[in-house]
Amino acid sequence: MSNYEVEKVYDENIRKLENSDPASAEEVFNPLIQKMANNTAYIKSEQDKIKSGETAVGDSLKFWGKEAEEYLQFKLRNSLTVEELNDSAYPENYEINTNLGKQLGLPSEWVFLKFFKHVSEGYGTQIAYKMTAQPSDNWRIKIRISNEKTWGEWQEVFTEQSFIGAGGHNSIYRGKNLGSKVTSEQFEAIKNGKFTDLYIGDYWLIDGVIWRIAGFDYYLNSGDINCIEHHIVLVSYGNLYNHVMNDTNTTEGGYKGSKMRVSGLNQAKDMIKRAFGEEHILNHRILITSAVSNGRPSAGSWVDSEVELLSERMVYGNPMFSSLPDGSSIPYNYQLEHSQLPLFAINHSLISNRGNYWLRDIVTASDFTFVYSNGYAGYNYARNSSGVRPYFCLKG
């Protein structure tokens, strides 16, 4: 029953009693209403009397049963003063809607408060919930705890609702085992872009391979054909197998023309599609090197992308051995992957998986970038067979 309905029933029952027994109405209700307006302690005592029927007033009020009790509770919840709300030793637990929020040090005027009295005298916990939808009120839940009758500072409480979307979820590392398959609820959370209960470092263990969430919506709003589908980036923890970048020590044709990309990733693609379903693998557009001159990238091409090797920038956040402008020439470094994946930014230890693995950047006419098993950045001859640690984007 709403507060309005409680008051309405209460007022109607007053009129009924006034019609049948005016003297009783004046004797019972008028003093009670006055005391309810001025004395919260009295309200609480009358509330107890309703339950026990100890007094004539209590017996009279039992005539209306639950409605009268709810009305008294309503009056109690809305009659606490700022001094009482700031009293960490208040004798009872309470819940209250109040417009005294700012006087209590909260950002908003109207708040819903819960108070829990601790066993130890002078200790309590107060939780505040925002009741307005004002954009300027940029908070949801705050909590403060008392210490020997002195309140601590209000602290923000972060909930799942605080982190809806890629921005919030890209900033939290959890590392939870999500199971051996992606559930329909998880696919829906990816599809709608809320990413509910999915965080950086979370992983699925499928067919003996750990696939960790490395980022949310990494490619959204990018590409010569705009990527508009919400997605998560998944990276294998270990290497899937070994393969060469090219049959000879050459980087001619760039990453696009390498044997690794032309055919060497096919095994990884098959594994990924079996594990997650081909319909859930995002096909999007990326820009990669397609020509090399004097050991430096000289051209690039937009290509369809499903499964790829990582780049230095995705792993480290900056180039280590890949080409940079040298004052006389500018290498073809155009690319969408210009920022570090959140997985490696938040948990640096996951860059090394204690195995050697390829990255896709050009270093010289014969070398591609490389991560060594001991964790340091390096490069390697293209014809050497080494680890394939791919990534791909999963959609809902």
pLDDT digits (tens, 9 = 90+) for 130-151: 876 665 567 778 899 887 668 8
User: Are 196 and 132 contained in the same domain?
Assistant: no
User: Are 352 and 393 contained in the same domain?
Assistant: yes
Residues 6+ apart with CB under 8 A from 106: 128, 142, 154
Pick the more confident residue, 47 or 264. Answer: 264
Pick the more confident residue, 125 or 37. Answer: 125
User: Are 198 and 151 contained in the same domain?
Assistant: no
Residue 7 has pLDDT above 80, yes or no: no
Signed CA dihedral, 228, 229, 235, 241: sign only: negative
pLDDT digits (tens, 9 = 90+) for 61-81: 444 445 555 555 555 555 788
Q: What is the rounded distance in angstroms from the CA atom of residue 52 to the CA atom of residue 48?
A: 6
First to last CA, the chain: 42
Round the average pLDDT of the chain to a whole number and report it.
84
Task: Count structural domains, the chain.
Answer: 3
Pick the more confident residue, 91 or 333. Answer: 333
Share above pLDDT 90 across residues of the chain, in percent, rounded to a whole number: 57
**pLDDT-based confidence at residue 378 (cuts at 50, 70, 90):** very high
Q: What is the pLDDT of residue 63?
A: 42
User: Are 323 and 202 contained in the same domain?
Assistant: yes
**Please, are residues 353 and 362 in contact by the beta-carbon 8 Å criterion?**
no
pLDDT average, residue stretch 283-294: 97
Q: What is the pLDDT of residue 64?
A: 45
Last residue of a domain, one of 125, 157, 189: 157
Q: Residues, the chain, total? A: 396
SS3 216: strand
Q: What is the pLDDT of residue 36?
A: 44
Pick the more confident residue, 164 or 136. Answer: 164
**pLDDT-based confidence at residue 58 (cuts at 50, 70, 90):** very low
User: Are 272 and 391 contained in the same domain?
Assistant: yes
Q: What is the rounded distance in angstroms from the CA atom of residue 103 to the CA atom of residue 201?
A: 42
Last residue of a domain, one of 35, 57, 77: 77
Give the CA count within 13 Å in the CB-facing half-sphere of 40.
Answer: 18
User: Are 11 and 122 contained in the same domain?
Assistant: no
Last residue of a domain, one of 107, 137, 157: 157
Q: Which of 92-96, 184-188, 390-394 has the lowest mean pLDDT?
A: 92-96
Residue 304 has pLDDT above 90, yes or no: yes
Q: What is the rounded distance in angstroms from the CA atom of residue 235 to the CA atom of residue 191?
A: 19
User: Are 179 and 223 contained in the same domain?
Assistant: yes
**Please, are residues 1 and 67 in contact by the beta-carbon 8 Å criterion?**
yes
User: Are 206 and 265 contained in the same domain?
Assistant: yes
Q: Strand locations in the chain, DSSP E?
A: 94-98, 111-117, 124-130, 141-147, 150-151, 155-157, 203-206, 209-216, 231-236, 241-243, 284-293, 296-305, 307-309, 357-362, 367-371, 377-381, 386-388, 390-395
**pLDDT-based confidence at residue 190 (cuts at 50, 70, 90):** very high
User: Are 227 and 282 contained in the same domain?
Assistant: yes
Q: What is the pLDDT of residue 77?
A: 54
Residue 32 has pLDDT above 60, yes or no: no
Range of the structural domain that residue 17 is part of: 3-77
User: Are 130 and 260 contained in the same domain?
Assistant: no
**Please, are residues 312 and 320 in contact by the beta-carbon 8 Å criterion?**
yes
Residue 227 has pLDDT above 60, yes or no: yes
pLDDT average, residue stretch 307-326: 94
Q: Which of 268, 328, 322 is nearest to 296 (CA)?
A: 322
Q: What is the pLDDT of residue 358?
A: 98
